[in-house]
């Protein structure tokens, strides 16, 4: 049973900063409509006609755009019927690739990010009008039906100067529908004018310039819909991972003004209750920051591993639990022997052997790119060398005598 | 439903645009009308036009080989298209209850395939002719990764996956029937760990299948319940069949040969499912499992000595009966506690003692003739390293438990050689450092509890 339909829109007037770009998102809408027409057509002749009229429409539209400031309302797709293109949601004003959020689309960042082959991410939260998040300090937030969480993955053309532009690979939506969160993945074209729904995954050849001016290449993996479950699946449910108190309690530059994200969301009326003084809340440590190595390492593992390595996650069967809330050292790997790792043990005896990062399975697997061995078990292509160094430093700082006799 | 079938069949027309969703939509529309040859001809024309440069990858048209194929796929001329075709079928097109048919041919698959739609059967045209070949796999920890209930895979081969072969997790209702999972590189540590791999599942049927070359266990059932493993052949694996932390399994009619160990029943600590029990293994042939152990160090099965027929590690209330156990050079049937692997279990809920197991009416021939690894050590402790009794128990009992009614005793009855003579037994007294070795069954000659067979819903 469908409880909602496409009619629920934000009524938000959006300043269109980039006239040309607005034209392109209009095009996408028209294309979608044309596709619908094509569906009603019964012979190939008509299909050709449809294509012709399509072209005509495009010309007309781009003319119109120059004269008229368009309305752009955030649109919600009916449950189970995602739009064919990202443009149809109208999350972003201006040129869609610029990602200028429309009214009701709230940007945010997390403290500890999940490594994704050095790609960068843009994150947004969209709640249906008038709805609120059920806030808790340490548990999972509860989101109203219709909530959309948006994550866009990109690389800068030149890491030394982000102003030179970027290549967006994909925008993932996690939509809270009546039968649970659903993932929808939109893959961007090379021209960066359009992103189309593609649930079966894709490989994209990337080339960009790294921090030292070197050429970097990557066969970037857009996951398929089922692979989303690898991280977001908890028991039989999908769940958002980033938007929670411990990840969100940080500042974000809203229109150039630094503000605490939780306080910002509270001011927008998006929480169902008053939130505590944010300085008192349990918060992850930025792995790239200056906190002590254990805090940073545990935060890193929480962000990069605990979505699987918890009792309900895909790595639940291993028993290794890497959430920052686990207090028992054996459970998070200290002197813990692998149970079902097979060759994933790398001839090593302990998940974490204190004082010996080079004899710890966790480091061995984080550093591996062999699909059978690598951790996380995601279709990423490269190891997170920063993460390897951080976890190694943590392990090497431990008392080497801890596992003696085990 | 009809549309679906034809989308796949018509992927041939998509060519380079196979990845283009609009093209697919159009093809689908065409196919709705495609009951006349006119449309087909038009399509073929465009086909020819594209063929002028002669290198366009294609997905040849396929036809269903069975009336209940909701979707039919075949191999394409490139791996990329092949994967796209299969994943489109499994992710976009398949719906609850569908049979997805794979026509004969070799499918060059280089990434993990996944399925998350309930009650879907993946059916090949013939077991040896329909081959999902993962030899060039570069992405994903499994060949096929299934997370949906009511899954079945039948009549096909899965070959040379980088990691595990077919993993099914958290599913209620799993069927493997007439499937071959193999690694063609013999006894290679780099082979994947598990071949047939249901974990945390219930109502599992694995039958008429062949698994070879796994660097851990060919057929591995972990943390599951209500399991029937029937009439399979497993060889060339480290462990032929392994039932781990599972409850209620029947293992029958299988032929386990030329593995390092034929049948392993393990109970391990630190697993979410906790302890398992009640595996009934009967009427299996456990023959010459003497393969050198090629598992990676650190894997539990690395501890299994070559030449092991049946090994129960810490498990309770299992019944091993009417099996033919022949030519396993280390030992025929061995029951050991978790202590023997030299680790102190740290899980307070874990019971390391194997109890209430019942081994009876098995036929033994030529086992323990050349004990290997730890079996060699056990044999040597009694001064005869060259031969070991075919029935072994480590003699470890938990003094904290009350066994006055004998219900915790591991029982051995009517285990005979080919001539009907009782076969030798040894309690090798692991806890006592091999000091009180006994070859007398004593209290262990008893009638234990029998188990019912497994029925699946």
pLDDT tens-digit profile of B157-177?
Answer: 999 999 999 999 999 999 999
Query: What is the percent of chain B with per-residue pLDDT over 70, rounded to a whole number?
Result: 88
Mean pLDDT of chain B: 87
The verdict on A233 touching B (C-beta cutoff 8 Å) is yes
- Interface contact flag, A229 B147, Cβ < 8 Å: yes
Are residues A371 and B141, on separate chains, in Cβ contact within 8 Å? Answer: yes
Tokens (6 digits) for B184 = 């063609």
Inform me whether the pLDDT recorded for A372 exceeds 80: no
pLDDT digits (tens, 9 = 90+) for A240-251: 999 999 999 999
Q: How far is CA B227 from CA A83, B309, B323, in A?
A: 42, 21, 19
Residue B440 to residue B438: CA distance in whole angstroms: 5
Q: How far is Cα B38 from Cα A45, in angstroms, rounded to an integer?
A: 12
The model's confidence at residue B447, banded by pLDDT at 50, 70 and 90, is very high
Of A221, A342, A377, the CB nearest to B299: A342
Considering CB atoms only, which of A47, A224, A341 is closest to B26? A47
Residues in B touching A221 (Cβ below 8 Å): 139
User: Given A330, A342, A348, which is nearest B215 (Cβ)?
Assistant: A342
Residue of A nearest to B189 (CA): A343
Tens-place pLDDT, residues B267-298: 988 787 788 999 999 999 999 999 999 998 76
Enter the tokens of residue B374: 């730890």
CB pairs under 8 A between A and B: 136
Contact A43 B25 (CB under 8 A): no
Where does residue A399 rank: exposed (0-12), middle (13-18), buried (19+ CB within 10 A)?
Answer: exposed
pLDDT at A348 (0 to 100): 85
- Chain A, 68 to 97: residues with Cβ < 8 Å from chain B are 84
pLDDT-derived band of residue A318, with 50, 70 and 90 as boundaries? confident
B368: phi > 0 → left, psi -120 to 50 → alpha, else beta; which? Answer: left
Give the whole-angstrom CA distance, residue B102 versus residue B122: 7
Binary contact (A84, B21; C-beta < 8 A): yes
Dist CA B301 CA B266 (whole Å): 10
* pLDDT, position A60: 31
Q: Which of A196, A221, A343 is most worth mutating to test chain B (most B CB atoms within 10 A of its CB)?
A: A343
Residue A341: its pLDDT value, please?
A: 60
By percentage, how much of chain B surpasses pLDDT 90? 75
Whether B193 and chain A come into contact, CB under 8 Å, resolves to yes
Q: CA nearest B426: which of B413, B412, B447, B440?
A: B440
Interval B357-385 mean pLDDT? 90
Residue of A nearest to B88 (CA): A200
For residues A66-81, give the mean pLDDT.
72
pLDDT for B395 beyond 70:
yes
| Chain A partners within 8 Å of B19 (Cβ) | 198, 202
The model's confidence at residue A228, banded by pLDDT at 50, 70 and 90, is confident
Would you say A350 and A335 are in contact if contact means Cβ atoms under 8 Å apart? yes
Report the pLDDT averaged over residues B111-126: 97
CA distance B401 to B446: 19
What is the predicted pLDDT for the residue at A92?
93
What's the mean pLDDT when you consider all of chain A? 82
Q: What is the mean pLDDT of residues B344-357?
A: 87
Look at residue B4 and give its three-state secondary structure.
helix
Least confident of A161-165, A261-265, A337-341, B234-238: A337-341
**CB-CB: which of A39, A361, A371 is closest to B140?**
A371
Inform me whether the C-beta atom of residue A98 falls under 8 Å from chain B C-beta atoms: no
Is this complex's ipTM strictly greater than 0.90?
no
């Amino acid at each position: 049973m469908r409880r909602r339909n496409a009619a629920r829109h934000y009524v938000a007037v959006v300043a269109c900063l980039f006239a040309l770009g607005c034209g392109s998102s209009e095009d996408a809408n028209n294309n979608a409509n044309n596709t619908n027409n094509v569906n009603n057509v019964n012979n190939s002749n008509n299909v050709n006609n449809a294509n012709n009229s399509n072209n005509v429409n495009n010309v007309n539209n781009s003319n119109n755009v120059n004269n008229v400031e368009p309305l752009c309302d955030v649109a919600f797709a009916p449950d189970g019927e995602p739009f064919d293109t990202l443009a149809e949601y109208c999350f972003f004003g201006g040129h869609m690739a610029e990602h200028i959020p429309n009214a009701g689309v709230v940007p945010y960042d997390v403290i500890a990010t999940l490594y994704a082959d050095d790609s960068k991410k843009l994150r947004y939260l969209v709640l249906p009008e008038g709805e609120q998040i059920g806030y808790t300090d340490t548990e999972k937030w509860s989101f109203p039906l219709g909530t959309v969480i948006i994550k866009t993955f990109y690389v800068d053309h030149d890491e030394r100067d982000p102003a030179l532009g970027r290549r967006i690979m994909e925008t993932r939506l996690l939509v809270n529908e009546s039968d649970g969160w659903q993932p929808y993945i939109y893959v961007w074209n090379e021209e960066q004018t359009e992103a189309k729904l593609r649930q079966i995954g894709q490989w994209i050849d990337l080339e960009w310039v790294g921090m030292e001016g070197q050429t970097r290449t990557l066969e970037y993996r857009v996951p398929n819909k089922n692979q989303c479950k690898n991280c977001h699946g908890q028991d039989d449910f999908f769940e958002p991972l980033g938007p929670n108190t411990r990840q969100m309690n940080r500042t974000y530059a809203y229109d150039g003004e630094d503000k605490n994200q939780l306080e910002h969301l509270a001011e927008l009326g998006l929480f169902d209750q008053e939130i505590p003084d944010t300085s008192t809340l349990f918060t992850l440590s930025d792995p790239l920051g200056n906190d002590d190595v254990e805090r940073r390492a545990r935060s890193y593992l929480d962000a990069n591993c605990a979505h699987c390595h918890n009792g309900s996650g895909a790595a639940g069967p291993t028993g290794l639990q890497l959430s920052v809330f686990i207090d028992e050292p054996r459970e998070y790997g200290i002197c813990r022997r692998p149970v079902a790792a097979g060759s994933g043990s790398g001839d090593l005896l302990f998940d974490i052997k204190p004082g010996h990062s080079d004899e710890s399975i966790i480091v061995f697997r984080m550093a591996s790119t062999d699909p059978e061995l690598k951790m996380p078990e995601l279709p990423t292509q490269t190891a997170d060398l920063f993460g390897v160094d951080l976890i190694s430093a943590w392990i090497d700082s431990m008392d080497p005598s801890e596992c003696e006799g085990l | 439903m009809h549309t679906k079938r034809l989308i796949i069949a018509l992927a041939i027309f998509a060519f380079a645009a196979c990845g283009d969703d609009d093209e697919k939509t159009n093809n689908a529309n065409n196919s709705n009308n495609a009951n006349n040859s006119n449309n087909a001809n038009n399509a073929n024309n465009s086909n020819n036009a594209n063929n002028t440069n002669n290198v366009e990858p294609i997905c040849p048209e396929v036809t269903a080989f069975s009336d209940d194929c909701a979707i039919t796929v075949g191999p394409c001329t490139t791996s990329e298209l092949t994967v796209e075709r299969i994943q489109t079928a499994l992710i976009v097109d398949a719906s609850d209850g569908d049979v997805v048919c794979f026509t004969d041919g070799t499918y060059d698959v280089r990434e993990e395939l996944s399925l998350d739609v309930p009650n879907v059967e993946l059916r090949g045209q013939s077991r040896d002719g329909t081959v999902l070949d993962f030899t060039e796999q570069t992405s994903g920890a499994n060949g096929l990764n299934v997370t949906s209930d009511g899954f079945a895979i039948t009549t096909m081969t899965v070959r040379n996956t980088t990691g595990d072969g077919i993993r099914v997790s958290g599913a209620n209702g799993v069927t493997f029937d007439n499937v071959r999972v193999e690694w063609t590189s013999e006894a290679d540590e780099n082979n994947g760990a598990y071949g047939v791999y249901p974990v945390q599942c219930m109502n599992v049927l694995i039958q008429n299948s062949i698994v070879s070359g796994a660097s851990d266990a060919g057929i591995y059932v972990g943390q599951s319940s209500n399991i029937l493993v029937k009439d399979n052949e497993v060889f060339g694996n480290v462990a032929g069949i392994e039932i781990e932390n599972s409850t209620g399994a029947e293992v029958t009619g299988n032929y386990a040969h030329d593995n390092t160990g034929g049948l392993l029943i393990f109970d391990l600590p630190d697993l979410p499912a906790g302890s398992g029990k009640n595996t009934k293994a009967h009427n299996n042939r456990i023959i010459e499992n003497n393969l050198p152990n090629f598992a990676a160090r650190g894997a539990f099965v690395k501890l299994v000595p070559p030449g092991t027929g049946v090994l129960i590690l810490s498990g309770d209330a299992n019944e091993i009966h009417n099996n033919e156990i022949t030519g396993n050079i280390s030992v025929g049937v061995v029951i050991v506690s978790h202590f023997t692997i030299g680790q102190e279990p740290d899980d307070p809920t874990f019971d390391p003692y194997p109890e209430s197991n019942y081994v009876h009416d098995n036929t033994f021939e030529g086992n323990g003739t050349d004990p290997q690894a730890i079996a060699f050590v056990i044999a040597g402790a009694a001064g005869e390293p060259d031969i070991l009794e075919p029935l072994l128990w480590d003699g470890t009992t938990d003094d904290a438990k009350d066994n006055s009614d004998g219900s915790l005793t591991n029982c051995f009855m009517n285990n005979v050689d080919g001539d009907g003579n009782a076969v030798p037994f040894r309690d090798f007294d692991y806890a006592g450092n091999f000091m009180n070795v006994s070859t007398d069954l004593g209290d262990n000659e008893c009638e234990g509890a029998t188990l019912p067979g497994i029925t699946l819903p």
